Chain A
Amino acid sequence: MTGTPTGCDAPRPMTMRIGLPRSTPAEDLDGGLARERVLVERARAGDQAAFEVLVREHADRLYAVVLRFVASADEAEEATQEAFVRAWRGIDSFHGRSRFFTWLYRIGVNEAKRRAERRPPPGREVPLEDQPLEDRPDSDTAPHHRAEQAELRDRLEDALSRLSPDHRATVVLRDVEGLSTHEAAEVLGLKERAFKSRLHRARLALREILEA
C-alpha cells in the first residue's frame, strides 16, 4: 500500500519546540490543512511535540474506529498505539499527497482488519425491527425510552460486527465516523467509484442482518 510506513529501525531524533499554530474545530478547511502541513513538516524534522499535537487530534477517533474490528478494548488500545508508533517511525514516507489523518487511518484500519481477519466471525444472527433510534415517539429523557435506545444501539453494534471486515470498514468510516466519500475511499485505498459500490453493498448487507 503506497504511503504506508513499513518500519524504521533507527530511532528518530526528537526535538521539543514551542509556538505551534493553534486552531479550533470551526476553523476553515484551508487553515486546518495549512496547520496540519506545518505540524507534519515539523514531525518529519524530528519534532516530537508537533507529532504529539497530531496524536491529540486523532488518537481517540482512531481508537473508536479500531475498536469496531478487534475483540476487546485492550486490543484496540494496543492496535491504536501500534498505528501511531508506525506512523512516527515512518512519517518520512508521508509526502502530503493526502490528508495526514487519512494516511494514519489507513495504517490503523489495516492493522485492525488484519487482527479481525484472524478471528472467526460471530455465528448467530440477531433480529432487529426496522426502527431507527431517532424516530421513537416518546421523550428521549424517559427511562424506558433510554433503555430501548440502548437495546437498539446494542443490536445495531452487534449487526455491524457481523459484516465482513471490508464491508464494516466502509460503513464505519463513512456512516459512523462521518468521513467524506473521498476521505474514506483514500483510507481504504479504493477508487471512489469502487468505494461507493462497496458501501452500497455493505449497507444492504447490514439491513439484511437487521431485518432477519
Chain B
Amino acid sequence: MGRRPGFHVDHMHSRRRLRAYVDGELSTGRRRRIERHAEECEDCGHLLASLQRLRRSLAGLRAPGGDRMARRVISRLRTDHRERASG
C-alpha cells in the first residue's frame, strides 16, 4: 500500500511525542497531527490506544483514602517522643 508523502516524517514525529500526547501536554495542532497519523499507521494507532487504556487502568488502581495509617503514625510519633524524652 502506498504511503502519502511525509508519512515517515509524521511517523517519527508521532513516536517521539506519544507520551506527551497521552499526558495531555501537546497543543491542539500537534495533537491533531498525531491523531491523523494514528488513523493511517496501524502500529502507532495500536500503541497510542494501548497507552491510553493503560493510563486509565492504572488510575483505577488508586486506593481510597482513609485515616487508619495516620492514627498509627501519630501513635508511633507520640511513643517515640516519650521514649526519647525519658532518655
Q: Which A residues are within 8 Å of any B CB, using their own CB?
A: 11-12, 14, 48, 51-52, 55-56, 59-64, 77, 80-81, 84-85, 88, 130-135, 152-153, 156-157, 160, 171, 175-178, 181, 196, 199-200, 203, 206-207, 210-211
Residue of A at shortest CB range from B18? Answer: A200
Q: Which B residues are within 8 Å of any A CB, using their own CB?
A: 18-20, 22-23, 25, 50-51, 53-63, 65-70, 72-74, 76-78, 80-81, 84-85
A177 — which chain B residues lie within 8 A by C-beta?
Answer: 62
- Give complex CA distance A160, B67 in Å: 25
Q: Are A203 and B61 in contact (CB under 8 A)?
A: no
Instruction: Name 15 extra pairs, CB < 8 A, besides A84-B73, A203-B22, A207-B51.
Output: A14-B81, A48-B77, A56-B67, A59-B70, A60-B66, A63-B69, A88-B77, A133-B60, A152-B57, A156-B58, A156-B61, A176-B61, A181-B23, A196-B19, A211-B50
- Give complex CA distance A12, B61 in Å: 38
- Give complex CA distance A61, B81 in Å: 24
Work out how many contacts link A and B, with CB atoms closer than 8 A. 101
Name the distance in Å between A30's Cβ and chain B's nearest Cβ.
23
Name the distance in Å between B50's Cβ and chain A's nearest Cβ.
6
Partner of B54 from A48, A62, A178, A206 at Cβ < 8 Å: A206
A52 — which chain B residues lie within 8 A by C-beta?
Answer: 74, 77
B63 — which chain A residues lie within 8 A by C-beta?
Answer: 64
Q: Are B65 and A134 in contact (CB under 8 A)?
A: no
B84 — which chain A residues lie within 8 A by C-beta?
Answer: 11
B77 — which chain A residues lie within 8 A by C-beta?
Answer: 48, 51-52, 55, 84-85, 88
Q: Are A171 and B53 in contact (CB under 8 A)?
A: no
A152 — which chain B residues lie within 8 A by C-beta?
Answer: 57
Q: Are B59 and A60 in contact (CB under 8 A)?
A: no
Q: Are A153 and B60 in contact (CB under 8 A)?
A: yes
Partner of A60 from B61, B69, B78, B85 at Cβ < 8 Å: B69
Residue of B at shortest CB range from A82? Answer: B76
Q: Are B73 and A199 in contact (CB under 8 A)?
A: no
Q: Are B51 and A157 in contact (CB under 8 A)?
A: no
B62 — which chain A residues lie within 8 A by C-beta?
Answer: 64, 176-178
Name the distance in Å between B23's Cβ and chain A's nearest Cβ.
7
